[in-house]
Structure 1
Amino acid sequence: MSNTVRFAAVGLDHAHIHGQVAGLIAAGAEFVAMATDDWSAAIAQQVRERYPDVPVVEDVDELISTDGIDLIVTAGVPDRRGPIAVAALRAGKDVVTDKPGCVSFAQLEEIEKAVAESGRFWSVTFSERFEVRCAIKAGELVRAGRIGTVVQTLGLGPHRVGDRGHLGGGAGRPDWFYDKSRYGGILVDIASHQIDQFLWYTGSRTAEVVASSVGNFANPETPGLQDFGDLLLRSESAQGYVRVDWYTPAGLPTWGDGRLMILGTDGYIELRKYVDIEGRPGGDHLFIADQDGTHYVDCSDVELTYYDDLVRDVQERTSTAAPQEHTFETTRLALTAQQQAVIRGAAE
């Protein structure tokens, strides 16, 4: 393998691919080719326009098997991400996938086998932690013992159905967005972010799903869209509550008021990741209350290292971006919560 990491993008269906590709390039990796199942998708067209000099390969399998590529990155339709990852791993390539990394236990089992057999890694881009400066800062404060022992997290992940950034300027959400078998269900799709954060901030290696539910309360004309979900988690040392939804009102100036509360025995931290309503402009707001008082922490200079760590992991065969077992456990818990969920309202 050359010193420069060469990567290809396979599956260009979700806007998260923009951040993944840009992050890898900024970390020094070389974007050498792209392929996808549907070139008519708005996001695929955007990627071609942004990187006109990157070769286009019409056949996905052909690109995956091409020699001289170290890493495959994908933000394909969620039910395609697992098969793409397995094929890439078996072709001797590391994999970085948008969340959810897969949509079924069968897919996860195939990925785990392929990782074990190939010696390559499978990383899921949990962007609500990896790409959020206040979330990184919160981890530093927790590890430093600023709020004592963390005993509970409360993670909120609201989204907006009509957000143009996620649509890539397209006319509307694609058909697969309303098909649970394709996107995996709201707990698999969105709540994987909050599950990742629960495990990470509490230092839990594993956990159990105590209870979960999904519903469709505002979109009965599209019952395949689960527009609400919640779940309770418990580990040996901590508890967690997660709520996700598609109810962000048009009046909010961003796609969702993502929030995280981290409760410790000596204080607590609250993150307002993307907006502080009627407060400070911009995002990355971190508030902390401890034994000394209340504080606002400026996170503007916090370094985001996920993509740099990924490139180094490819080069040095390390696991610094995200421990492999952590990624597996996060995915397992999301799948378990989805499978066990009580279904309410018009949801299928």
Structure 2
Amino acid sequence: MPRIAIIGAAHPHVDYVLDELARADRGGFELVGVQDSDRAVAEKHAGRFGVPAYDRAEDLLAEGIDIAVIAGVYGTRGADVIAALRAGAHVLADKPLCTSLVELAQIEAEAASSGRTVNLLLEKRGYPETLAALAVVEAGELGDIVGITTSGPHKLNRAQRPDWFFDRAQYGGILSDLAVHDLDAALLFAPADEGVIRGAVSAPLDGAAGFACYGAATLTTPTTVISAEVSWLTPQASDVHGDYRLRLVGTRGTAEVFWARGRVEVTTQDRPVRLLDLPAGQRPAEEALDAFAAGRAPAVSTAVSLAATRLALLAQESADQGGAVLTWTRSADDVVPTVPTP
């Protein structure tokens, strides 16, 4: 039975995994413990499952962990991922995976040398709307995808955010935090191995130097122009946390994906606008834990996780450099993993 541990639990997305482990139909794992530098946070989650709380990641990793779930303060995640890989654990991480390109290079090297996987929780891949739109694209109804635009606004809920969230050294930046989902989703619809990316940010938050409330990234690949905007500016009175959207422009049609509204509209040269029937989706950590329980690698592979992270970090670096155009290349080789035996 794979032994799983929580290394860092500062972000609520840790519940993606913990809620999955708590499901009555979810077996096959032993939760060994929960670690966080904030003892109260660790004890809160550990108490839910009756497992020990740990102050230090190295102490929990020393217990012989097969899968380390990384969901702590953003600025500590890179070091935690590297420590987990060195301890022989696979990594299942909330985004961002890390906050610097230097850390990402170290993670890539450790994954390759250890033969362990690094899997990012890119939950938009499993949304019903994404799956419905992808089926249309793969069937060729839209022709070649030449343009993709996405919008990812969020409510800030400032009073509920911890202090580290507004510390640039710990947060990492709006593009590295939020744009990773939409850039990855765009590559799902229009795969590419290379391109150039430019980022920009604006609207700093009063009283939080270096914290941008709005950002945009443009990725140009050999076939497609991709534009992703993200923000912390969803009005507080909105009925949704963020009205997330994606628009696909193809040579034979268009598709509008309204993630927050549960709707996908498709219009083609041959058919007027229609609403797609939505398939069953996947919970954020469902497929990855199914894969580990079955002894196989998750569908969101190490290569996919690293490529999406690299894109978001390059976009953030571009913004920090005043909009410099930077080259992006997907990692050519995926790690061949040794997955835990169920």
Residues 1:97 and 2:85 aligned together: no
Match of 1:189 among 177, 181, 191: 177
CA distance in 1, matches of 2:155, 2:22: 29
Deviations 1:242-272 (A, max 9, x none): 1011111012112111111111221111111
- Give 1:232's aligned amino acid: T
Match of 2:115 among 115, 119, 126: 119
> 1:281 matched to which residue of 2?
none
Match of 1:53 among 50, 54, 76: 50
> 1:139 matched to which residue of 2?
134
> 2:165 matched to which residue of 1?
177
Deviations 1:108-135 (A, max 9, x none): 01100110111000111122333x2212
Match of 2:238 among 212, 227, 252: 252
Q: Which moved more, 1:27-36 or 1:174-183?
A: 27-36
Deviations 1:63-95 (A, max 9, x none): 11211x311112101111111111111111100
Deviations 1:273-314 (A, max 9, x none): 113xxxxxxxx2211112222111232x42317645423543
> 2:331 matched to which residue of 1?
none
Count of residues in correspondence between the two structures: 318
CA distance in 2, matches of 1:200, 1:103: 23
Deviations 1:47-66 (A, max 9, x none): 345x2423323332111121
- Give 2:20's aligned amino acid: G
Unaligned runs of 5+ in 2: 323-342
Alignment of 1:1-348 (within 5 A): 4-23=1-20, 26=23, 27-30=26-29, 31-41=31-41, 44=42, 47-48=45-46, 51-67=48-64, 69-130=65-126, 132-162=127-157, 172-209=160-197, 211-217=198-204, 219-275=205-261, 284-290=262-268, 291-299=270-278, 301-304=279-282, 307-314=285-292, 318-341=296-319
Determine if contact 2:70/2:92 at 8 Å carries over to the other structure.
yes
TM normalised by structure 2 equals 0.86
Determine if contact 1:153/1:263 at 8 Å carries over to the other structure.
yes
Over the residues paired in the alignment, what is the CA RMSD in angstroms? Answer: 2.2
> 2:330 matched to which residue of 1?
none
Aligned-residue identity in percent: 29
Determine if contact 2:292/2:298 at 8 Å carries over to the other structure.
no
TM normalised by structure 1 equals 0.84
Instruction: Say if 1:45 and 1:227 are closer, same or farther in 2 by CA, change over 3 A.
Output: farther
CA distance in 1, matches of 2:266, 2:250: 11
Determine if contact 1:115/1:121 at 8 Å carries over to the other structure.
yes
Unaligned runs of 5+ in 1: 164-170, 276-283
> 2:338 matched to which residue of 1?
none
Determine if contact 2:46/2:52 at 8 Å carries over to the other structure.
no
